[in-house]
Amino acid sequence: MVQARHIIYLALTVLIAIPLISPLGLPVTVTRYTVDMYDAIEALPRGSAVGASISWGSANWPETGPQMTAILQHLFRKPVRIVLASWTVEGPMLFERILSNIDKGEKKYGDDYVLLPYIPGIETAFAAYAADIVAASGGVDYYGKRLSELSAVKGVKTIDDLAYQIFTTNTSIDGEMRQWSRFKVKLGVALLGGSVPGAMPYVVSGRIVGMINGIRGAAEYELLLKKPGLGLKSTDAVSLTHVLALALIVAGNVVYFGRRRKWIQ
């Protein structure tokens, strides 16, 4: 039997499908924390090493995938070395998927960027990585090559040897902050939209330089890079569905209070 919730699901699906097929073109303004990350990457010294890490799985791909894609695309345009670390089983495979979708320019694997293997343990892994990146990876990259033979990690031992560590996560950032904030490394974060309010104490205090807020932040970053992707493609759908969300809250309360006060049968 068709119920009210089925109509809501159908409305949600249609309101997403329409702008994906035929975009409305609503303008997107770039917010301060996204600009902070962009500027931080732009200011990276030539030849410095930058860390980027994944702490999410494929279920979060629609939100964090575009974020990391935009960040890595920017990093690959800069003359820096990139160290890619994963705290989840799927991390290396997700990095491979992202790397296959970006323009790597003249960067070569091993010399300019390296993919580390999955480092288990979540907070234990963060601590091990911060103390000794090579040892935490078991001394090898994801493909089994010895890290001592790869110039991308030359001179990189602790997290303080990185000019910037960008981490993306699907939960709170407390674990990373507990293990990394005592080091001097500059930290940047790309979060699920829902995790942003919980991360604000660290952002507002200045310990985190640059934050990307969900798919909206990914869209803003794509605008700054002038490289549209799923982020920008999704913003119209975000607009329509958010209006639907507000309409449902209002409608639900009107029906509830109307029935209680007998305005509505």
Partner 1 sequence: MSALRAREIPISLFAFAVILLILGYFTTIRPLITAADYLKSFGVLLALIAVFLGVTDVLRVHLKHIAKRTPRQWYLSAWLIVSMLMMFAFGYVHKPTYDVLYARLYIPLSIGVGASIGYYLYSAFYRAFRIRNAEAAILFACAIIVVLRNAPVGEVIWTGFSVMGQWITDVPGAGASRAILIGAALGMVALAIRAMLGKEQGYLGGE
Partner 2 sequence: MDPVTAISALAGASLTLMVLSLMYKESMFYKVAEHSFIGITLGVTLYIGVETLRTKGVAPIAAGDYIYILPFVIGVLLFSRLSKKYYWVARWPTALIAGIGSGLAMTGAIFAMFIDQIVATAKPLISADPMASFNNIVLLTAMLGTLSYFFFTFRHKGALGVSAKIGRYSMMIFFGASLGASVLSNTTFVIGVVDALIQYPAWYMIPVAFAVLVASELRERSKAKK
190 to 55, 149, 235, 243, 255: CA distances (angstroms): 11, 31, 17, 25, 39
Bridge partner list, 164: 50, 186
- Give the burial string for 89-118 (b: 16+ CB within 10 Å, else e): ebbbebbeebbeebeeeebeebebbbbbbb
Q: How many CB atoms lie within 10 A of CB 38?
A: 22
- Residue with structure tokens 């234990």? 124
> Among 35-43, 46-54, 153-161, 233-241, which window interacts with partner 2 (CB under 8 A)?
233-241
| 183 contacts partner 2 (rule: CB under 8 A) | no
- Token pair for residue 176? 């990373």
| 197 contacts partner 1 (rule: CB under 8 A) | yes
What 3-state class would DSSP assign to 9? Answer: helix
> Among 69-77, 103-111, 158-166, 241-249, which window interacts with partner 2 (CB under 8 A)?
241-249
18, 35, 128, 185: which one contacts partner 1 (CB under 8 A)? 128
Helix 91-101, helix 61-77: angle, nearest 10: 60
Q: Return the number of the residue (38 or 126) whose C-beta is nearest partner 2.
A: 126
Q: Are 154 and 161 in contact (CB under 8 A)?
A: no
Residue numbers 19-48 binding partner 2 by CB under 8 A:
20-21
Q: Return the number of the residue (41 or 240) whose C-beta is nearest partner 2.
A: 240
Rounded CA-CA distance 50/163 in Å is: 6
| 197 contacts partner 2 (rule: CB under 8 A) | yes
101, 124, 148, 151: which one contacts partner 1 (CB under 8 A)? 124
> Smallest distance from the beta carbon of 105 to partner 2, in angstroms?
27
Q: Which one, of 138, 177, 180, lies nearest residue 158 by Cα?
A: 180
> Smallest distance from the beta carbon of 219 to partner 1, in angstroms?
8
How many residues belong to the chain? 265
Amino acid at 6: H
Rounded CA-CA distance 109/210 in Å is: 27
Residue numbers 43-82 binding partner 2 by CB under 8 A:
59, 61-63
> Among 25-33, 75-83, 105-113, 153-161, which window interacts with partner 1 (CB under 8 A)?
25-33
Site residues (vs partner 2, CB under 8 A)? 6, 9, 12-13, 16-17, 20-21, 59, 61-63, 89-90, 92-93, 117-118, 120, 123-124, 127, 137-140, 144, 174-175, 177-179, 181-182, 192-198, 201-202, 204-207, 213-216, 230, 233-234, 237-238, 241-242, 245
Site residues (vs partner 1, CB under 8 A)? 4-5, 8-9, 12, 26-29, 31-32, 57-62, 89, 93, 97, 119-122, 124-125, 127-128, 131-132, 135-136, 174, 193, 196-198, 200-201, 204, 213-214, 216, 235-236, 238-246, 248-249, 251-253, 256
